[in-house]
Structure 1
Amino acid sequence: MYYAILSEDVADSLTLRQSARPAHIQRLEDLKNEGRLLVAGPHPALDTEEPNDAGFTGSLVIAEFDSLEAAELWADADPYVAAGVYQKVTVKPFRAVLP
């Protein structure tokens, strides 16, 4: 089943994000290579593709896991969590309907 992992950043998280980004991206690449990643990406702080110094307000990952508990464990192990980027992480079941 798919699970949506919705994360909210702490204020001024850009520097924290940059330091943990390579490890964060590698985990997403691993999900993609396993055929389990539906979509992943950040929420820009500004209404633009490249918010520059404004940074991001959070992230969304939708991926396949065996259970809610497995998705929560994966989310808890995110390098952004360890780096203090996220102030809140919510994991919910997700059902893809369209397209």
Structure 2
Amino acid sequence: MYYAIIAKDKADNLNDRLKARPAHLDRLRQLQDAGRLLLAGPHPAIDSEDPGSAGFTGSLIVAEFPDLEAARAWAAADPYVTAGVFTEVTVKPFRKVFPE
């Protein structure tokens, strides 16, 4: 089943985010290589593909896990969590309907 990992960034965290980004992306690539990643990306703080110094307000990851506990455990070990980038992380089941 898919699970949505919805994370909220702490304020003024761009430097922390950039430091943790390579390790965060490595974990996402592992999910992608295993065919388990549906989508992932950040929420820009402003209406722009590249928000520059405005940074980001959070992230969304939708990936396949065996169960909710496995999804929560994966999210808790994310480098953005361990680096203190995220202030809040919600993990919940997600059912993909479209595109088919």
Task: Work out whether the TM-score is over 0.5.
Answer: yes
Alignment partner, residue 47 of structure 1: 47
* Distance in 2 of aligned mates of 1:45 and 1:12: 11
* Distance in 2 of aligned mates of 1:16 and 1:6: 18
How much identity, in percent, do the aligned residues show?
Answer: 65
Q: How far did 1:11 drift?
A: 0.2
Give secondary structure in 2 for the equivalent of 1:50: coil
Amino acid at match of 1:98: F
Runs (4+) of structure 1 moved beyond 3 Å? none
Alignment partner, residue 83 of structure 1: 83
1:7-49, Cα deviation, whole Å (9 max, x unpaired): 0000011001001000000000000000000000000000010
Q: How far did 1:67 drift?
A: 0.2
* Distance in 2 of aligned mates of 1:38 and 1:47: 23
* Distance in 2 of aligned mates of 1:14 and 1:43: 13
TM-score by length of 1: 0.99
* Distance in 2 of aligned mates of 1:60 and 1:79: 14
1:54-85, Cα deviation, whole Å (9 max, x unpaired): 00000000000000000000000000011100
* Distance in 2 of aligned mates of 1:28 and 1:95: 20
Give secondary structure in 2 for the equivalent of 1:69: helix
Instruction: Give the number of equivalent residue pairs.
Output: 99
Tell me whether 1:6 sits opposite 2:6 in the alignment: yes
Structure 1 unaligned segments of length 5 or more: list them.
none
Amino acid at match of 1:68: L
Structure 2 unaligned segments of length 5 or more: list them.
none
